[in-house]
Structure 1
Amino acid sequence: MTSRGEGLGAAIRAWRERLPPAAAGFSAGYRRRAVGLRREELADLAGVSVEYLVRLEQGRSTAPSPQVAAALARALQLTTAERDHLYRLANLLPPPTDVISDQIPPGLRRVVSRLADAAVAVFAADWQMVWWNRQWAGAIGDPASLPPESRNFARNTFPVGPPAGSGPGSATPTSHQQPADPPARSGPRTTTPTSHQQPADPPARSGPRTTTPTSHQRPTDPPAGSEPRTTTSASHRWDAPAMSSWPVVYDNVDITAASIVSDLRRATGRFPREERLTTLISDLIEGNEQFAALWAAGAVGAHRSDGKVIHHPELGPIAVDCDVLTDGETELKVVILTAAPGSEDESKLRLATMLPDAEPASRADAALR
């Protein structure tokens, strides 16, 4: 049972007394003694009777209709979080949010910009990358060299036909194609484009990438070591997706893939009318058999964590833990890569920041400064 001061009536009264009359279009007047809005004023704004509003505030009525709850939220000028709280206090389901946000709230922005010891990226509710730091660019490769449409982790995990920017005849590995070891690098390493470099054309994907073309380089023939991938075990996969400039081995790729799908299904409950999300899911169902099978299973959940090994071309293998934190209001996902404290992997992760791939900071990182 809700205690006095915590229920629906107490919340409505607190919000009413908080709202300045001028903000609602009323004159304060010289003889006004009420703090905030009068009950008569709120009732007029919300289109309900004063008597009903009194019953709500006194707790004698606790089940307003969704229409009344919406009218009160508008009249009281509540934030999205406050509106949802009002609905829950009234035992109603909060109305769904229509649009996925790519904007990072100021508080979250301050937090991620201070995680200097970790490789961090922020993704929207549909796994569209919206921000990354220098450490991420150094450890994984700078996503600034990719067009925005290629920075979606779900599309990257479940490729549909040739990936964005691929040339004729280039192969896209599926989640069932796994080699025992990452392929040997062939030839000297080239420089990853920085935030001020734009590649003339996206590189052709023919098997695993061993080099990343700069803005002045055009791939000609597939590099040596780009043979078709072969299956080894269900729990390990060498994966060199468009969002990574070099191979990444997941501890359990099947669990990661299933987590991404269940997280997208959860997002459809929060954003049921978001065209960008529905288009993404439709494309993946029609174009990727693994995604379609996982989607048909109907699981709902969130991607929380996994482990992986980054096969960095300069530093060698780096074992990292990948943890995913979700902002409750925007559904933004903060993906954090860290290594065991005091380990060689931690030293490598720090060194990655000082390599050319992390210099200068990506456009997304610089935007926070």
Structure 2
Amino acid sequence: MTASRSGFGALLRAWRDRLSPADAGFTVTSGRRAPGLRREELAELAGLSVEYVLRLEQGRAKHPSAQVVGALARALQLTRAERDRLYRGAGLLPPRDGMISASVPPSIQRLAARLGDVPIGVFTADWTLAWWNAMWCALHGDPAALPASERNLARALFGGGPARAAMLTVHSERGQDAFETSIVMDLKDAASRYPADDGLEHLVGDLRGTSAAFARIWDMETDAAPHATDSKTIRHPVIGDIRLDCDVLNVPGEDLHLVTYTAAAGSTHAGKLDLLRTTGAVPAPLS
């Protein structure tokens, strides 16, 4: 398939103009002229450069990858049908049914955008980070600095690449073993639901071959450990240790994990979270 130089760019521009900045988590000021998202805002949401988005809209970048198109579809809060149209406009086949979807419904993105005071990350069934807000970046570092293939929690826990190097020191009240076991068992459950997903098969095969800990847990005869509220202490390089309640909320019908971090009002750690919110302190670059 070949991409239409004008069609793909026209879709980007039309859907960028359609999306409300407030629904995307941006503050709307009275002097704003653009009816929808600015080009730099779309670039920020999709983890792309402004120049590359401009080239896509003008038809000068002719072969965007599936990862780029997927990131743009999420940033633009497209429906599944619109997402498939964007893939075809790029000369790509849309994701097949029965595969893990990285699509985050517009309603979930709008909800998360309105909770801007809370660090929020949305993960797919294989624990790949598909969407995050500014507070997530302030707490964990900007995921856009990582290659898309490395924005995966299992790779951060068991891999040896950029994801592992970027992960901050985290102490789980449940214990690190319990946390790691829950993630591996969750992947094992996902593998039973998505047996034809090549990406998940590659992830599991890679980690089984390179991580003895992952292989040991994978081969355990045990049921998947349910996710529960956990208290985690994160060693942030700017503000020091911050203790937060971490909740994993599953989105019915979408096979997504919405991860949030909160602190009790008036606590020392709530004050540290406020400091992150007001200063936008971000850890050292992830790459």
Give the TM-score normalised by the residue count of structure 1.
0.47
Which of 310, 313, 317 pairs up with 2:237?
313
**1:157 is aligned to 2:157:** yes
Q: CA deviation at 1:123?
A: 0.8
Q: Is the 8 A contact 1:304 1:324 kept in 2?
A: yes
Q: CA deviation at 1:358?
A: 5.2
Q: Is the 8 A contact 1:307 1:319 kept in 2?
A: yes
What SS does structure 2 have at the residue aligned with 1:273? coil
| CA–CA separation in structure 2 for the residues paired with 1:257 and 1:147 | 22
Matched with 1:14 is none
Matched with 1:284 is 207
Which of 229, 251, 255 pairs up with 2:178?
255
Q: Is the 8 A contact 1:153 1:243 kept in 2?
A: no
Distance 1:157 1:349, change over 3 A: same
What SS does structure 2 have at the residue aligned with 1:336? strand
| CA–CA separation in structure 1 for the residues paired with 2:193 and 2:222 | 15
| CA–CA separation in structure 2 for the residues paired with 1:339 and 1:117 | 11
| CA–CA separation in structure 2 for the residues paired with 1:300 and 1:332 | 20
| CA–CA separation in structure 2 for the residues paired with 1:326 and 1:268 | 17
**1:140 is aligned to 2:63:** no
Q: CA deviation at 1:333?
A: 0.8
| CA–CA separation in structure 1 for the residues paired with 2:115 and 2:271 | 16
Matched with 2:262 is 338
Q: Is the 8 A contact 1:102 1:124 kept in 2?
A: yes
- The number of equivalent residue pairs is 187
Q: Is the 8 A contact 2:135 2:280 kept in 1?
A: no
Matched with 1:122 is 122
Matched with 1:274 is 197
Which of 258, 264, 276 pairs up with 2:187?
264
Q: CA deviation at 1:277?
A: 0.9
Q: Is the 8 A contact 1:100 1:271 kept in 2?
A: yes
Q: CA deviation at 1:327?
A: 1.5
Q: Percent identity?
A: 37
Q: Which amino acid aligns with 1:247?
A: T
| CA–CA separation in structure 2 for the residues paired with 1:313 and 1:358 | 9
| CA–CA separation in structure 2 for the residues paired with 1:318 and 1:140 | 12
Q: CA deviation at 1:272?
A: 1.6
Q: Is the 8 A contact 2:117 2:277 kept in 1?
A: no
What SS does structure 2 have at the residue aligned with 1:269? helix
What SS does structure 2 have at the residue aligned with 1:126? coil
**1:355 is aligned to 2:279:** yes
Distance 1:243 1:121, change over 3 A: farther
Q: CA deviation at 1:356?
A: 4.6
Q: CA deviation at 1:347?
A: 1.5
Distance 1:331 1:304, change over 3 A: farther
| CA–CA separation in structure 2 for the residues paired with 1:243 and 1:336 | 19
Greater radius of gyration (CA): 1
Q: Is the 8 A contact 2:246 2:259 kept in 1?
A: yes
| CA–CA separation in structure 1 for the residues paired with 2:165 and 2:250 | 24
- State the Cα deviation string for residues 245-275 of structure 1 (Å, max 9, x = none): x432222100000000111111122212111
Alignment of 1:1-369 (within 5 A): 98-159=98-159, 162-164=160-162, 241-244=164-167, 246-251=168-173, 252-301=175-224, 302-357=226-281
User: Which structure shows the bigger proportion of residues in helix conformation?
Assistant: 2
Matched with 1:62 is none
Give the TM-score normalised by the residue count of structure 2.
0.60
Q: CA deviation at 1:164?
A: 3.5
Runs of 4+ in 1 over 6 A off after TM superposition: none
Q: Is the 8 A contact 1:118 1:135 kept in 2?
A: yes
What SS does structure 2 have at the residue aligned with 1:125? coil
| CA–CA separation in structure 2 for the residues paired with 1:344 and 1:260 | 30
Q: Which amino acid aligns with 1:248?
A: V
Q: Which amino acid aligns with 1:118?
A: V
Q: Is the 8 A contact 1:119 1:135 kept in 2?
A: yes
| CA–CA separation in structure 2 for the residues paired with 1:298 and 1:332 | 25
